[in-house]
Amino acid sequence: MTKTSNITQARKDFPILEQHCYLDSAATSQKPVQVIEAMKEFMLNSNGTVRRGVYELSVQSTQAFDNVRTKVQDFLNAKSSNEIIFTKGTTESINMLAYSFTEWLRLGQKEITKTSDIDSGNKSTAAEILISGLEHHANIVPWQIHTNRIGATLKSIPVLDNGELDLEACKTLIANGKVKLVAITALANSTGTIVPVKEITELAHQHGALVLVDGAQAVAHQKIDLQDLDVDFFAFSGHKLYGPTGIGVLYGKEKYLNAMPPYHGGGEMIDKVTLTETSFAQAPFKFEAGTPPIVEAVGLGAAIDYINNLGIENISQYEHELYSYALSKAKEIEGLKIIASTENKTGIISFVFDDIGSFDIGTMMNEHGVAIRTGHHCAQPVMERFGVDSTARISIAFYNNKEDIDKCFEALAKTVRIFR
């Protein structure tokens, strides 16, 4: 059986799809039975805390947990498993980095190894952090909070009328030499726009800036090779990669992770603790205070195994074919306007009508058994850029098929007729 036929047969691994036409995978993906069973099996037979005991269950749990770290390393082609930090999700990953990176700037980018290295200090007013106008709120709000905290400046790369980033403006913004970090999405959740991460990373590095990529949307749909991209930090969530909620990853180059101060304090992240001072462990443990999400990590590992079995390149090709089919159907609906006209998009169709509200569209589509997303998609600056309050959004995954697309646009056509 070919990989392509594997993909078309994979739908059977998602029993929930027998009852629902689900086209909101950009919000959260459905989970295959293999992921659910792996978590169940672990809880029934192997559950124990990690690195806290010498007994068999603790050893088994530790091995399972560490194996997932290695799986993530291989999946992303990171240089070392020490560069993989487990978090609750993309949002926590970015918040973690926003605090640790800006605190590192505030302290003069010296190596932080113990609590006495962290003092009240003076605010850093020269540094700039650069985001883009395509970002999810999770890659905006943390930077607002922490640039304000240390007195740094937050700037943004503007968005062109076609939905792409203005790369000429980006070059100008970076070239001033003040930018310390560029934080950008790889794939915009609101429009589906693909961002040229490698090009921006090369530009940033030329001017001494580091790069964080929000990979929450991209990681399930395209091959991520961190050593090829050469980004300094990368974040994603398990629940968008066909795994469970409550687990995410922050990747960082080891030299930066070891230099920055930790985000949380507590057990596991320490080297030595006295009542007056603590020295920190090396990465990744430095950033993993407390009992980690062990069962959720097992689920993430099972999801990565599942994706690897299908082949991420095959998934990407199949989804693009399905996306092209959906675009052709969208063009048949009178008055439908797609947000962001660039062809450099995939997986997401975000649209509006002049005479029908997006909430009304989503409500009526649900009445016809079709689940799509409506609202501002946690991307209000994008909505403002395109002069809308909200959009209706269709997002595609490999477990969808042409029948889903047909049902979706049949329901949309009926919805439009109701309001006209």
In which residue are the tokens 């392509």 written? Answer: 4
Residue pair 408/394 in contact (Cβ under 8 Å)? The answer is yes
Chain-centroid distance, C-alpha 144: 19
Q: Which two tokens stand for residue 413?
A: 């056509």
Choose, from 21, 170, 378, 408, the residue flagged as catalytic: 378
118: left (phi over 0), alpha (psi -120 to 50) or beta: beta
Q: State yes or no: is 170 an active-site residue.
A: no
| 227: Cα separation from own chain's centroid | 18
Fill in the amino acid letter for 235.
A
Question: Is residue 269 within 8 Å of 208, Cβ to Cβ?
Answer: no
Per the CB < 8 A criterion, the answer to whether 106 and 146 are in contact is no
Q: Is the dihedral of CA 280, 281, 287, 292 positive or negative?
A: negative
Secondary structure of the chain in HEC code, one letter for each residue: CCHHHHHHHHHHHCHHHHCCEECECCCCCCCCHHHHHHHHHHHHHCCCCCCCCCCHHHHHHHHHHHHHHHHHHHHHCCCCHHHEEEECCHHHHHHHHHHHHHHHHHCCCCCCCEHHHCCCCCCCCCCEEEEECCCCHHHCHHHHHHHHHHCCEEEEECECCCCCECHHHHHHHHCCCCEEEEEEECECCCCCEECCHHHHHHHHHHCCCEEEEECCCCCCCCCCCHHHHCCCEEEEEHHHCCCCCCCEEEEECHHHHHHCCCCCCCCCCEEEECCCCEEECCCCHHHCCCCCCHHHHHHHHHHHHHHHHHCHHHHHHHHHHHHHHHHHHHCCCCCCEECCCCCCECCEEEEECCCCCHHHHHHHHHHCCEECEEECCCCHHHHHHCCCCCEEEEECCCCCCHHHHHHHHHHHHHHHHHHC
User: Which token pair is 82?
Assistant: 């020490």
Catalytic residues: 378
